[in-house]
Amino acid sequence: MASNPNPGNFGNRPHGEVENIARKGGQSSHSGGFASMDEDKQRNIASMGGQASSGSFQPGEERAREAGHKGGMSSGGSFEPGDNRAREAGRKGGSRTGGDMPEE
């Protein structure tokens, strides 16, 4: 075994340990995340409705509107242009953002 103590380098680990890691197929490479939290903590975060997210847009920011518009234009959605259902869905979604868009 090499004398480099870097455990991230598989060449510096015992052969058996490397085999065990390989056998897991990367499934144990990440132990954190939402799914591994206890249920109370998950429920608390979920109840915030995305407010705990460190999103990159400020409420009402024009860039956010443009990004949403571009996303909607390129989606493979099932609404036809001018469909009132699409307008209603967009209005409902927009009311959840805290933005300052005027009502129609």
pLDDT digits (tens, 9 = 90+) for 25-47: 766 555 667 777 888 988 888 88
Concatenated DSSP letters for 18-73?
HHHHHHHTTTTS---SGGGS-HHHHHHHHHTTTTTS--SS-TT-HHHHHHHHHHHH
Per domain, the residue ranges of the chain are 1-26
Digit-coded pLDDT (tens) for 42-81: 888 888 776 656 567 677 778 777 777 766 665 556 767 7
Report the chain's mean pLDDT, rounded to a whole number: 71
Predicted local distance difference test score (pLDDT) of residue 98? 54
Q: What six digits make up the tokens of 36?
A: 């591994």
Phi, psi of 44, deg, nearest 5: -65, -45
**pTM for this predicted structure:** 0.25
Q: Is 80 exceeded by the pLDDT of residue 15?
A: yes
- Tokens, residue 10: 């598989």
Q: Is the pLDDT of residue 102 over 60?
A: no
The tokens describing 16, both together, are 């058996």
Percent of the chain with pLDDT over 90: 0
